[in-house]
Chains A and B, each alone.
Chain A
Amino acid sequence: MKSYTEIANSVFERRDIYIKNKKRQKRIIISTITPTISCYVILVVSLALFNKDIFYNNTHIFNESQSSSNTNHDSIFIGSQDSSTNSSANDESIPSNKPSEDASSSPSNDASNGTSSVPPVVETDYFLDSIGKINFYLAKKAIMENSYSHTPTSNVLGNPNPLLLSKINRYPIDRDKVFTTKMITYFTININSKYGFLAENLGGNGLVEVVVIENDIENLGPMITFRKNNFYITFLMESEYKEPNSNKVIRVFNTKRSIKRFDVYENLEGEHLIFTVRYNGLKVVGFECDSDQKGEVWASNDDVTLIEDNCFVLYSEQTFTISELEAYFKNKSKGELI
């Protein structure tokens, strides 16, 4: 039997060895891990720097191309004025927290207000990569082909910035398939609300182009597309009312079902808005944006004003393919503003 001093000595001796070993292991681990982590950090930083270089190089190219093409831009927008003066007058440039439908081209939005150092991406090719853009272009084509020449009386109508389309991945949609449009409505509204849903999703206050359209791309029925600069948001129709023995029609759209690119998204959060478009014959006479009272939480609605003099309504079947539509605008003079 060991005495207590022997046991104590043995315990302390073992403890010292244990601590020594522990320290040695720690040293080995640190000496192994530190270079690994350092290499990893260097690699990540290098990659980040490399990507940054690419970004700046591209920005430089954009700057050059913008300076050469900006001066040629013109608009088919009826009663257009100089884009920079109008958009800056109306836009409060609320930064949007929500992703825009066409996020790929979003940097140019700020540039329209002259507040961002990132220049707008000047299109080199037309490419319709979302239903929202297709809707908008269809409306523009219809307006151009139908020689819409009404001059609005309102001076607030400005020229939205160029339709900026970037080359991105193509979607698995048959671009040569023939689609049909049954109805096209085009009008403009003015948004003036600080935290409204539209203002947030369209990159700020100001003039917004609205297209109400029915085509059979995905057989989704009538839908409404809002476009401001290069932000597009599209929602599906909820209901339609026709007043008997009159030309009055009311179409109601709900933010509950939206379209991103070519996909329909259902918003289950109960935070919905309804957009009501009132027609009287071939004229849009009213547009309202209200909270959907069926939902538990209401989205903040916008203070919107319809610019009545600037509307276009067409009820006739038209066929198109996406390739044709792209080519239609591609063949227009370079730098043409839409």
Chain B
Amino acid sequence: MDNGASSYRRFLNGDDEGLTLIIKEYKDGLILYLNGYVNNIYVAEDIMEETFFKLAVKKPKFNENSSFKTWLYTIGRNVAIDYIRRNYKFLTSSIEDMENYIKEEINLENLYIKSERKIIIHKAMSNLKPEYYQVLWLCFFEEFSNEETAKIMGKSKRQIENLVYRAKQSLKLLLNKEGFQYEELH
């Protein structure tokens, strides 16, 4: 059992500190993942908060069929899809917002990704199709297995394998265009 699961159990037993620990551990990764859906770091942050709010209020049962992180990211993805459905018309940002947004994203990247090489890749990824971004983020930054990624994204394992292949091809082209030497992501 991972830390997330034990923290969540603590929370279900009435200890709010459990949820605080979960937020601490997973918030940044979740924001960056959700950013792949909404392409706005502030909105992604709101969705992340909404995800934890859902955990706090609904207290859904974690049945340990997957890792806690997979389960949490699946909830996050569902919240994001709900959000997009309700607000897709309003998902635009002003130039001012964009500047702040880039700054915030850089901060978060530095905080969460750390490796400079990976940060460059992440930057390039933001120009990919959202689906490619999401799958690459989950597989190579969060290091989920194809099976776990499939679970989070609500797709089959085979679809994920194809998606990863196409996403890598797309990323390779982008990096080559910007003068980077593409290396196999592993």
Contacts and interface: CB of A to CB of B under 8 A. Distances in A.
B23 A11 contact: yes
Q: Is the interface of B mostly helix, strand, loop or mixed?
A: helix
A interface, over-half SS: helix
Interface string B66-107: 000000000000000000000000000000000000001001
Given A1-B108, A2-B45, A12-B16, A7 B57 contact: no
A5 interface: yes
Nearest to A15: B56
Interface string B47-76: 011001100110000000000000000000
Interface string A1-33: 110110110111011001100000000000000
Given A11-B49, A18-B57, A5 B20 contact: yes
B57 A15 contact: yes
B27 A7 contact: yes
A4 B20 contact: yes
Given A4-B24, A5-B20, A18-B57, A11 B52 contact: yes
Nearest to A9: B20
B19 interface: yes
Interface in B1-56: 16, 19-20, 23-24, 27, 41, 45, 48-49, 52-53, 56
A18 B52 CA distance: 14
Interface residues on B, range: 10 to 19
A8 B23 contact: yes
Nearest to A19: B57
Contacts of B27: 4, 7
Nearest to B31: A1
Given A15-B53, A18-B57, A1 B19 contact: no
A11 B59 CA distance: 13
Contacts of B19: 8, 11-12
Contacts of A19: 57
Nearest to A8: B20
A19 B45 CA distance: 23
A7 B16 contact: no
B45 A1 contact: yes
Nearest to A4: B24
A1 B108 CA distance: 9
A14 B49 CA distance: 10
B16 A10 contact: no
B26 to A, nearest CB: 9
Nearest to B111: A1
Nearest to B25: A4
A1 B30 CA distance: 13
B98 to A, nearest CB: 16
Given A1-B45, A4-B23, A11 B107 contact: no
Contacts of A5: 20
B53 A14 contact: yes
Contact of A12 (B24, B45, B56): B56
Contacts of A2: 45, 49
A5 B23 CA distance: 8
Contacts of B52: 7-8, 11
A105 to B, nearest CB: 61
Given A11-B49, A18-B57, A19-B57, 15 more contacts: A1-B41, A1-B45, A1-B104, A1-B108, A4-B23, A5-B20, A8-B20, A8-B52, A10-B49, A11-B23, A11-B52, A11-B53, A11-B56, A15-B53, A15-B56
Interface of B: 16, 19-20, 23-24, 27, 41, 45, 48-49, 52-53, 56-57, 104, 107-108
25 contacts: A1-B108, A2-B45, A2-B49, A4-B27, A7-B23, A7-B27, A7-B48, A7-B49, A7-B52, A8-B16, A8-B19, A8-B24, A8-B52, A10-B49, A11-B19, A11-B49, A11-B52, A11-B53, A11-B56, A12-B19, A12-B56, A14-B53, A15-B56, A18-B57, A19-B57
